[in-house]
Amino acid sequence: MSELLTGQPGERRLYLGNEAILRGALEAGVALVATYPGTPASEIGDRAYVVSRQTDLYFEYSINEKVALEVAAGAAASGWRSLCSMKHVGLNVAADALMTLAYVGVKAGMVIVSADDPSLFSSQNEQDNRYYAKMAGLPMLEPASPQDAKEMTRAAFALSEELNLPVLLRTTTRINHSRGAVTLRELVPPAGPGFFAKEPFQKVMVPAVARLAHARLLEAQAQAAAQAEVSLFNKIYGKGTWGIVSSGVSSSYVEDAVAELGLKDRVQVLKLGFTNPLPVSLILKFLAPLEKVLVVEELEPCLEEGLRAIAQAQGLTLPIQGKSPALFSRLYEYHPALVRQVTARYFGLPGKAGEPQEPEKVLGEPLPDRPPNLCPGCPHRAAYYAVKIALKDLGLEGVFPTDIGCYTLGLLPPLSMADFLICMGSSINTAAGISKATNQKVVAFIGDSTFFHAGLPGLANAVHQNHDFLLVILDNGTTAMTGHQPHPGVTLTPVGYPCEHVPLKGVVKALGVQNLWVVNPFKYKETLAATKEALSASGVRVLIAEAPCPLHVHRVQGRKSQARFRVTDKCQDCRHCLDYFGCPAMQLNQGPAGGRMRIDPDVCSGCAFCVQWCEAIRPVKQ
């Protein structure tokens, strides 16, 4: 039984923020959850999958975030409480649906989780999605802890129904990936079959209907503002003539800073949880007795600008500051000591700043880096190697638009197989642009999950426009980077996972691709020959490199290769393996007579790829 389905009301559990969000939804009787995986939101979907196998909850890993949001919107329109979750950039993909769903509205509660990633732990940008709430005109809640995350998610469903609008729950990595004590409430079973009540002149957004719907949205925003004024998620504490305003995880840093600086009797804190629309009256009441205010929020000055506008409209002139070179940055996440130091500085207090010892200074030399790397036995490395060698043999230099997934690590030397990346699916379309504008040989790389997510329109377009590049689809049969979630092309799934298989090769052919090669990248000679053919041809060419992620195979089937390989005395020390392949199992032993290659048997996965191109590598006899 999932940990999220057990436990008595009142019991305390140590939940990950993402688990707390799902638990909150289950306590609100959520009937449908849809997602596309993405750090730091992935565990919401992963836990929902497990729960869906044990209850009446419907769950799906949708093909992308737009699809997830629309599936959830359809269910919410039919009376099912629904939730969709995604990472911040996922909401860009879903933004088209989001903006007009705000006009269409919902019948049953709908919650959209946007998990932002300040400091870019696992993302391509650190955009602040609170602006989406402003742009779409939707209510937004921002939890400061896992407990908040559960309570807000639960409350968001009721709020959504009251306003007939979807509600945004905006988190950051430190909420999603922190565990904290969460007090449970009763679970509520999902509603039975829903019913779609026809109201075409309310729900079909043609211009005449949408004009009225926009007016309705503005009215609903006024109601939302009234809700924000009385929301229990907005709290004032402390006393004094100084003020601090914060939201999200920053509120936790503020609480610690106030305690550690001994400011409980000198500063009033407005902790905002319901942050769009802002509670104007509450803010004015808060500002009235204050001399100066510090705004603590990661990324953009969203609250700060809102507060200043509210103060200006009322003719208040007290300083309200947050982002400035002397105070907070718009870059990266904050941490407790930073918030404490800036707070002390702003209010002219002595800061308790320790001087941390820098390890490199103490040692007197730089420490070796520990960059992440593709795993030993990763099929992506084998495919990259074949393309590298094929280009070298043909005397060509390639330009490599890449995409989002484990294989983005191909950026690092010695592979160096990534030159351009914007977002999911961008490899194909930027390849089109680069090949049009130059005479260079363009080879684009995309993973199977990313191809289904955002690659299909691009490939159809490339065929239609007769572009000239080679697309390598790195098909490892899963969504590896985020924890091996399935996608439409997968065949290897956990026992009992209900899905239809959409064959990748068939899709590529159906999109009109004439020049198609399918190889197993671990078969080196075949892959090299096919790659050379593909490189030499013209027009849109697709090479599918098909071999499952070994971690996934191990997880699903419990199978692990027992074979191991070693470097024999035949090694000429050419270091081709280091310069072109870079498997973590291949190491250079430092000896008195210089270096010598070896294969670490504890790291070697037994994929038997290197043995196909290096005569000095031989199997270890078992």
Partner 1 sequence: MKSQTEKIKLRILLTGVGGQGTLLASRVLGEAALEAGFSPLVSETHGMAQRGGIVVSTVVLGELQSPIISPGEADVLLGFEALEAFRALNYCHPKSLVIANTAAIPPYPVAIGKAQYPRIGRLMELLAAQVGGLLAFDAEDRARQAGSPLGVNMVLLGALAASASLPFSDADLRQILSTRTNPKFLEANLKAFQSGVDAAGNDKYWLKRPAAWH
> What DSSP state is assigned to residue 406?
G
Rounded distance between C-alpha atoms, residue 3 and residue 1, angstroms = 6
Considering the complex, what minimum distance in angstroms separates the CB of residue 363 from partner 1? Answer: 6
Touching partner 1, residues 578-597 (CB under 8 A): 578, 582, 584, 586-588, 590, 595
> Which positions from 157 through 176 interact with partner 1, judged by CB under 8 A?
174
Give the contact letters, 35-64, x = binds to partner 1 (CB under 8 A), - = no.
----xx-xx---------------------
Sign of the alpha-carbon torsion through 235, 240, 243, 248: negative
Considering the complex, what minimum distance in angstroms separates the CB of residue 349 from partner 1?
A: 18
DSSP state of 121: S
- Residue closer to partner 1 (CB basis): 30 or 404: 404
Task: Report if residue 500 touches partner 1, rule: CB under 8 A.
Answer: no
Strands 540-546 and 565-567, sheet pairing: unpaired
Minimum gap (Å) between residue 275 Cβ and partner 1? 18
By CB under 8 A, the count of residues binding partner 1 is 60
What's the Cα-to-Cα distance from 7 to each of 16, 23, 187, 371, rounded to whole Å?
A: 16, 11, 9, 41
* 10 is a site residue for partner 1 (CB under 8 A): no
Instruction: Give the 3-state DSSP-derived string for 320-363, with helices as H, strands as E and coil as C.
Output: EECECCCCECCCCCCCHHHHHHHHHHHCCCCCCCCCCCCHHHHH
What are the C-alpha distances in Å from 4 to residues 15, 18, 114? 9, 11, 21
- The sign of the dihedral angle between the CA atoms of 47, 53, 58, 63 is positive
* CB of 9 or CB of 512, closer to partner 1: 9
Are 356 and 335 in contact, with CB atoms under 8 Å apart?
no
Of 15 and 517, the one with the shorter C-beta distance to partner 1 is 15
- Cβ closer to partner 1: 193 or 356? 356
- Part of the chain binding partner 1 (CB under 8 A), chosen from 95-103, 189-197, 348-356, 468-476: 348-356
Query: By CB under 8 A, is residue 478 in contact with partner 1?
Result: no
Residues whose CB is less than 8 angstroms from the CB of residue 362 and which lie 6 or more positions away in sequence, other chains included: none
Near partner 1 by CB under 8 A, which window of 8-16, 459-467, 502-510, 513-521? 8-16
Question: Is residue 238 at the binding interface for partner 1, with CB under 8 A as the rule?
Answer: no
Rank residues 259 and 563 by Cβ distance to partner 1 and give the closer one. Answer: 259
> What are 85's strand-pairing partners?
35, 113
In the complex, least distance from residue 145 CB atom to partner 1, rounded to whole angstroms: 7
Sheet with 320-321, strands from edge to edge, namely 235-238, 267-272, 242-247, 292-296, 320-321
- Identify the residue whose tokens are 């609008």: 165
Residue selected from 52, 62, 145, 430 as contacting partner 1 according to rule CB under 8 A: 145
Residues that bind partner 1 (CB under 8 A): 12-14, 16, 39-40, 42-43, 121-122, 144-145, 174, 177-181, 249, 251-253, 255-256, 259, 335-338, 354-359, 362-363, 365, 367-375, 406, 409, 481-482, 578, 582, 584, 586-588, 590, 595, 600
